Amino acid sequence: MTATDRAIDLVRVASRAADSKQGVDIVALDVSAPLPLADAFVLVTGRNERNVQAIASEVEEKMIEAGAKPLRREGRAEGRWILIDFGDVVVHVFHEEERLFYSLERLWKDCPVIPLDLPAATGSTDRP
């Protein structure tokens, strides 16, 4: 099973939004095979709590504009790990320390990476 075309489109919307707010180490994973509740995860790192919150806000705004409805949000007040669930796509915006500690890339290492169209200087499709 692979992520739907709609999920991949939304992944790219979320990734571009995160990139526009200086999100770094942006990675998208196709989790559709092991996880029946979502097609893709987008992982992005912010440099501090304010940056994490700004990235999450921009992602949510652009995803809503693209027709995605946020089903659940967690962690916005703390700004350390904000999770926004859009159904087929779940966006994780991490503070640098939380990204390293929880290491979701390691947990989902068997999942294929979804290629992103981001400038090479800011976004990344490679796993750290």
Query: Which strands form 81-85's sheet, in the order they lie side by side?
Result: 24-30, 40-46, 89-95, 81-85, 72-74
Give pTM, 2 decimals: 0.90
Indicate the domain borders of the chain. 5-107
Phi, psi of 36 (to 5 degrees): -70, -10
Q: What is the pLDDT of residue 91?
A: 98
Q: What is the pLDDT of residue 44?
A: 98
Collapsing DSSP states into helix, strand and coil, what is residue 117? coil
CB 98 within 8 A of CB 45: no
Residues 6 or more apart whose Cβ sits within 8 Å of residue 121: none
What CATH superfamily is the domain 5-107?
A: Beta Polymerase, domain 2 (3.30.460.10)
Q: What is the pLDDT of residue 118?
A: 84
Predicted confidence pLDDT, tens digits, the chain (128 residues)? 689 999 999 999 999 999 999 999 999 999 999 998 999 999 999 999 999 999 999 999 999 999 999 999 999 999 999 999 999 999 999 999 999 999 999 999 999 999 998 876 444 444 44
CB 89 within 8 A of CB 18: no
Q: What is the pLDDT of residue 1?
A: 63
